[in-house]
Structure 1
Amino acid sequence: MQMCCDLEVDVNGQEIFMVDKKILSSFSGKLNKLFGKSIATSKNLKVIFHDLPGGAHGFELLARFCYSNGQTEITPCNISLLHCVAHFMEMTKEISVTDNLIEQTEEFLEGITYWAWSELLVALKQCQDFVPAAISSGILQKCLDSLIARVAVSATNASPFTSSPDSSGFRFSFDTRSTESLKNSYSRTNWWFDDFASLNPTLIEKVLRAMVAHKFDHVILSRFLFYYQKSSFSNATSIEKRKITEIVVELLFLLDHSSVSCRSLFEILRVALRFNVNKCCRNRLENMIGSQLHQATLDSLLIPSPPGTDYLYDVNLILRLLKSFLSNGDCWVSSTHLRKVASLMDLYIAEVAPDPCLKPSKFVALVTALPDSSRDLHDGIYRAMDLYLEVHSKLSEEQKMKICCALNYEKLSSEALKHLGRNSKFPSRKALHALMSQHSKLKTLLGDNNILGDSPCSYSEKGIKGKEVENGEQHVLYAGKLDISMENEKLEEHLRGMQWRVTELEKVCRKLQAQMEKMMKSRLSSSSSPRSLPRMCS
């Protein structure tokens, strides 16, 4: 066959080949359709390919096949590339009935079940360079199916494995221990970790989704994802690390959340924050942590604040985690879990309270984030408030009162109440005496209804809880809810005429007065039994 070089082929901008257009057109349907009847007449033509699978190497294999009159050696090492190039160049039987490349590669793939594991892995890895073509040609799926089938068979034949995310001490870590030592510890069930971990993120995603579809143990899959992230970080750039982290989180989100330990999730959260992953990734990670926040520890919660902020710890993150925890519904937020999280939050609030940059609004948000039913005692909250007020001694009386209103004084122990009675860091005695005086006036006005009790000292028994008399001084610690009745409209008029004389409590007392007026107007009745007064603040 007479050969010439009358066709210039630019392959993906990598390399230019001078070939015989007639020879290549006799095997390629794409070129045959491109040139049409001009194959025999036109000379010095040029073709530019932008996305030929395998680039210059792929075209070279194609050219060798054509110049060898449709003969080439097909092996597991080149099958993926040959198959994709054949589909790209449309080398079908319509062009060459006996020697078309697609038919030869498909015939070779029929024996894929007999390939060695290493041969399957080589074929799959070759697909990494041209994933779209490998997907469209079908060879990627064939390699995946065969590999996953091998893993499934080995898992079935392996000894029983305890499926607990923390059972074997395998936890996500970024220390300097070699991945090989970790692999040896799990060689019986996780022997495939290192081989799959060498794949790029795109193939990792496809492998894991396929394994989830085949109902692999989610604990094993979560461990593999942590192993993959650790091993792939060694030579990765910051951008690559961010992409890897986002893919790992996305795949973890597909698994049963209980299959991933809370400690591991917090570890990956720190990495995600360090590399500034996208919002969707961060939300998914926070959702997973929130679903098992009852398993967290104080050390896990103490995450430094984002760069550019003054406060020490990322309080906003913890508030989001609490919101996620509460939004998981009754299936997660059992009374036991709720109490565990409340105990954990008491420790956390006490830890962040000494931060001089922590704003009162954030402190109150932490204290009130969980429902009141989550705590039997508020002693932990009281101790945290004591620390906070000690560090933030320059707060106004109004700010202090707003903070103290977050404390449920009914749930303080007797020891805490005694300490509070002597605690000068809480709102001033003058302010408390003024408020107590107003409540005494209410008692006098209400007369026989006896809502406030027999004397100003009996609040704790008649509705105003937590009052204590010590050293001849009275301290109003808490006021309950107001529900009064009246027969005389003069009471309302009298209350309107009251003037608050303590400037520190002016705004707070106005709020209390408005609440009382509203309730007196709406709850008129002929008789009433003793009930509790409203909180000083809400």
Structure 2
Amino acid sequence: MKIISSYSGRLSKLFGKSTGGTRTLKVIFNDFPGGAEGFELMLRFCYNNGRVDINPSNLSLLYSAAKFMEMSSDFPSTTRPNLLEQTEKSLQQIGYWTWSELLVTLKQCQDLSNSSSIVEKCMDSLIGRMALSSESSPCPSTSSQDSSGTVRVSCDSRSTESLKTCFVRGTWWFEEISGLSLSFIEMLIKAMASKKFDHGTISKFLFYYQKSKCYSTSGDEKVKTIEVVIDLLHILDWSSIPCKSLFGLLRVALSLNVSKCSRKKVENMIGSQLDQATLDNLLIPSPHGANSLYDVNLVLRFLKSFLQGGIYSIRLKKVASLMDMYIAEVAPDPSLKPSKFLALAMALPDSARDSYNEMYRAIDMYLEAHTGLSNEEKMKICCALNYEKVSAEVCMHISQNKKFPSRTAIQALMSQQVKLKNLLQPTNATTCFVDSPCSSLGEPDQKGNKDEQQIVLYAAKLDFSADNERLRAHLQGMQWRVMELEKVCRKMQTQMTKMMKSKTPNRSSSRSLPKLCS
């Protein structure tokens, strides 16, 4: 022990505090770094007059042992060789180590508590090799870079034939890095993100790591892996993460019952790029115990996250188209409550849709599957429709659809009539509503407008308690009149365009207008 204490500040302090002889002193280190192997390497250094072969395979053990035993320059005995200093000098040559040597050293550090400086240097070197190979695809085992930035080549015994295909994809390191512990993966990814490593490649690796670990672990380890992967993905640029992969991760997270915080992070990442999703992605079954077939609340949270990220016209319209398909898919579910259906239908702003035809079809399917709804509930659901953005054909269908309240049919036809008036007489058109019919209408200067205004007034005074069949027959005739006027309007607009293009006024042009406009 006297020889060892001459190199170790820790033992020297213990012997100095001892009141008895050194022969009776017993020292037990239960937490010696590297266990018996690390202790043996330290003994060889001490009993060989401070000389030991330091290489990548034992550097981390010697370094940790030197730190633990306080074998540094702080120890008063300056005449003895300094093990910590020797290991630090050897570490400066890390740029010359092969890929395999870096991994071996890094894996050894996983079980050592005081090797943070070695871990940091190894990870920096690994990241440099990965980044270099991504640009030029050199052999990862032979390419290295010293502290001056000079790339050099060394030989590695590991065959690289199996990596040729992987080089093309730039993912050759996925499998080897996956052998590190979860805590080291977390450290490595954070270091890669801070060094501006390609976020798309990082996200691919994290999904690869998650899948490989979930197959080989069970229970709490799976949950922990998923949560760490989610946390790491969350610090990346979300636009670089494939939306399809996020949905796969979410399904796994839901099946494993991960923390609410982790689920929310995945939902926010998906919501930020909801325009990249597909209908199949959104059709996620409801949680156990829920009545509905699909998890509508989850989709509503996606929409909330999407809208919070800022609305862009093209992306918003893509999401609206996706939601129309989703609403039509869930509409036949007899367990879907009217409040949830309406929340889906009205989640997006009106500007998201140029046409409400698909929304009408979804509502039609919902009313078909929910025959027990009250008239008031049906009216609330129909509020999701913008009748000014449905086609004339859809208006005709509404007027004949017995599943819809009669009042909605009148609203649809009135909106068509108002659109037509605005086209024919944009400056004098007056909008009428069923709930509050116009008390006075502008003087019509065209026979068609007068007829249509009379129709609107009549519709406003209709008794909704009357026979529905008679009402619908009247509305059908009213709709045909609206469609005829639309045709006349289109013809008039075409001829007006020709007149405007003419260089000289043509007096005969007014005679060629439709009879309605003459």
- TM-score with structure 2 setting the length: 0.72
- The residue aligned with 1:457 is 456
Please, which of 127, 133, 138 is the counterpart of residue 154 of structure 1? 133
> Counterparts of 1:319-334 in structure 2 under 5 Å?
319-329=300-310, 333-334=311-312
Matched, 1:401 2:379: yes
Deviation by residue 1:268-299 (Cα, 9 ceiling, x = unmatched): 22122222222332222222212211111101
Judged with a 3 Å threshold, the aligned counterparts in structure 2 of structure 1 residues 456 and 45 are, in CA distance, closer, same or farther, namely farther
Matched, 1:197 2:185: no
Amino acid at match of 1:146: S
How far residue 26 of structure 1 moved from its aligned partner, in angstroms, is 3.1
Deviation by residue 1:415-451 (Cα, 9 ceiling, x = unmatched): 2212212222223679989xx9xx779548x35689x
- The residue aligned with 2:389 is 411
- The residue aligned with 1:235 is 216
Deviation by residue 1:296-317 (Cα, 9 ceiling, x = unmatched): 1101111111222221111111
Is contact 1:353-1:387 (8 Å) kept? Answer: yes
What SS does structure 2 have at the residue aligned with 1:354?
coil
How far residue 396 of structure 1 moved from its aligned partner, in angstroms, is 1.9
Deviation by residue 1:353-391 (Cα, 9 ceiling, x = unmatched): 111211111111100100011011111111111111111
Amino acid at match of 2:87: T
Amino acid at match of 2:289: G
Using the alignment, how far apart are the partners of 2:477 and 2:294 within structure 1? 35
Using the alignment, how far apart are the partners of 1:92 and 1:459 within structure 2? 101
- The residue aligned with 1:366 is 344
Matched, 1:389 2:364: no
Matched, 1:187 2:167: yes
- The residue aligned with 2:114 is 133
Root mean square deviation of aligned Cα: 3.6
Using the alignment, how far apart are the partners of 1:284 and 1:335 within structure 2? 25
> Counterparts of 1:69-468 in structure 2 under 5 Å?
70-93=50-73, 94=75, 96-97=77-78, 98-130=80-112, 132-135=113-116, 138-158=117-137, 185-188=165-168, 189-329=170-310, 333-427=311-405, 443=437, 446=439, 454-455=453-454, 457=456
Amino acid at match of 1:392: H
How far residue 412 of structure 1 moved from its aligned partner, in angstroms, is 1.7
Deviation by residue 1:311-358 (Cα, 9 ceiling, x = unmatched): 1111111111111111112xxx31111110000000000111111211
What SS does structure 1 have at the residue aligned with 2:135?
helix
Judged with a 3 Å threshold, the aligned counterparts in structure 2 of structure 1 residues 386 and 134 are, in CA distance, closer, same or farther, namely same
Larger mean Cα displacement after TM superposition, 54-63 or 290-299: 54-63
- The residue aligned with 1:28 is 8
What SS does structure 1 have at the residue aligned with 2:454?
coil
What SS does structure 2 have at the residue aligned with 1:129?
coil
Larger mean Cα displacement after TM superposition, 95-104 or 412-421: 95-104
Amino acid at match of 1:455: Q
Judged with a 3 Å threshold, the aligned counterparts in structure 2 of structure 1 residues 184 and 427 are, in CA distance, closer, same or farther, namely farther
- In the alignment of these two chains, the number of paired residues is 421
How far residue 44 of structure 1 moved from its aligned partner, in angstroms, is 4.8
Is contact 1:294-1:337 (8 Å) kept? Answer: yes
Judged with a 3 Å threshold, the aligned counterparts in structure 2 of structure 1 residues 414 and 273 are, in CA distance, closer, same or farther, namely same
- The residue aligned with 2:473 is 471
Judged with a 3 Å threshold, the aligned counterparts in structure 2 of structure 1 residues 116 and 95 are, in CA distance, closer, same or farther, namely farther
Please, which of 13, 16, 33 is the counterpart of residue 53 of structure 1? 33
Is contact 2:379-2:408 (8 Å) kept? Answer: no
Is contact 1:128-1:203 (8 Å) kept? Answer: yes
Amino acid at match of 2:261: C
Using the alignment, how far apart are the partners of 1:428 and 1:414 within structure 2? 17
What SS does structure 2 have at the residue aligned with 1:373?
helix
Using the alignment, how far apart are the partners of 1:292 and 1:430 within structure 2? 35
Judged with a 3 Å threshold, the aligned counterparts in structure 2 of structure 1 residues 207 and 39 are, in CA distance, closer, same or farther, namely farther
How far residue 63 of structure 1 moved from its aligned partner, in angstroms, is 4.4
Using the alignment, how far apart are the partners of 2:100 and 2:161 within structure 1? 21
Deviation by residue 1:118-150 (Cα, 9 ceiling, x = unmatched): 1111001111123x4221xx1111111222222
Using the alignment, how far apart are the partners of 1:73 and 1:155 within structure 2? 34
Using the alignment, how far apart are the partners of 2:458 and 2:125 within structure 1? 77
Amino acid at match of 1:222: S
Is contact 2:437-2:457 (8 Å) kept? Answer: no
Amino acid at match of 2:106: L
Judged with a 3 Å threshold, the aligned counterparts in structure 2 of structure 1 residues 261 and 185 are, in CA distance, closer, same or farther, namely farther
Is contact 2:313-2:352 (8 Å) kept? Answer: yes
Using the alignment, how far apart are the partners of 2:218 and 2:315 within structure 1? 40
Judged with a 3 Å threshold, the aligned counterparts in structure 2 of structure 1 residues 57 and 99 are, in CA distance, closer, same or farther, namely same
Larger mean Cα displacement after TM superposition, 139-148 or 182-191: 182-191
Deviation by residue 1:482-528 (Cα, 9 ceiling, x = unmatched): xxxxxxxxxxxxxxxxxxxxxxxxxxxxxxxxxxxxxxxxxxxxxxx
How far residue 74 of structure 1 moved from its aligned partner, in angstroms, is 2.8
Is contact 2:279-2:322 (8 Å) kept? Answer: yes
Is contact 1:322-1:369 (8 Å) kept? Answer: yes
Unaligned runs of 5+ in 1: 1-19, 160-179, 462-467, 478-538
Unaligned runs of 5+ in 2: 139-159, 415-432, 444-449, 461-469, 480-518
Judged with a 3 Å threshold, the aligned counterparts in structure 2 of structure 1 residues 181 and 288 are, in CA distance, closer, same or farther, namely farther
What SS does structure 2 have at the residue aligned with 1:187?
helix
Judged with a 3 Å threshold, the aligned counterparts in structure 2 of structure 1 residues 410 and 475 are, in CA distance, closer, same or farther, namely farther
Judged with a 3 Å threshold, the aligned counterparts in structure 2 of structure 1 residues 423 and 43 are, in CA distance, closer, same or farther, namely farther
Deviation by residue 1:442-483 (Cα, 9 ceiling, x = unmatched): 548x35689x9843535899xxxxxx9741358999xxxxxx
Is contact 2:33-2:65 (8 Å) kept? Answer: yes
Amino acid at match of 1:250: D
Using the alignment, how far apart are the partners of 1:361 and 1:318 within structure 2? 14
Amino acid at match of 2:120: Q
Judged with a 3 Å threshold, the aligned counterparts in structure 2 of structure 1 residues 59 and 306 are, in CA distance, closer, same or farther, namely farther
Using the alignment, how far apart are the partners of 1:79 and 1:40 within structure 2? 36
Judged with a 3 Å threshold, the aligned counterparts in structure 2 of structure 1 residues 192 and 447 are, in CA distance, closer, same or farther, namely closer
Using the alignment, how far apart are the partners of 1:83 and 1:254 within structure 2? 33
Using the alignment, how far apart are the partners of 2:477 and 2:165 within structure 1? 63
What SS does structure 1 have at the residue aligned with 2:332?
coil
Deviation by residue 1:214-248 (Cα, 9 ceiling, x = unmatched): 22222222222222222222211132222222222
